[in-house]
Amino acid sequence: MREGDVEFVQVVCEMLVVPAVAAAIVRIDERRLTGVRLERAWPPVSRDAVVFATWQFGILFGCPAMLVWFIRTRRSLWGVAQGLAAAGLLFGAARASALVPEAVIDWLGL
């Protein structure tokens, strides 16, 4: 494989992994919410728009969206901490989606 091919595989992997992780974080957290916190959650259309925008713009949109989600639902410093942790998790998933395909391609000798 040429270098451009590796980069293409990395971009495709990131376009699949990052929105999936963002959607999973929000959906899992949304299922745990109750009462007032659940009322503050994004409506389904807004949630889906965030996942779509994360697909389009990657972590440049996804990481701030995770921070906003947790701050909006928690409205506390604990929500800020959870939002930063979720943004870090999303960033780590993005980095892994770039590094793992390259390592696999090297390992397979392609």
Report pLDDT for 103. 86
Give the C-alpha separation, 40 to 102, whole Å: 40
The model's pTM? 0.86
- The distance between the two most distant Cα atoms of the chain, rounded to a whole number of Å, is 54
Q: How many CA atoms, within 13 angstroms, populate the side-chain half-sphere of residue 1? A: 18
Question: Which residue from 50, 56, 53, 52 is spatially nearest to 69, judged by alpha carbons?
Answer: 50
Written as one string, the DSSP assignment of 68-85 is: HHHHHHH-SHHHHHHHHH
pLDDT digits (tens, 9 = 90+) for 40-97: 999 999 999 999 999 999 899 999 999 999 999 999 999 999 999 999 999 999 999 9
pLDDT surpassing 90 at residue 2: no
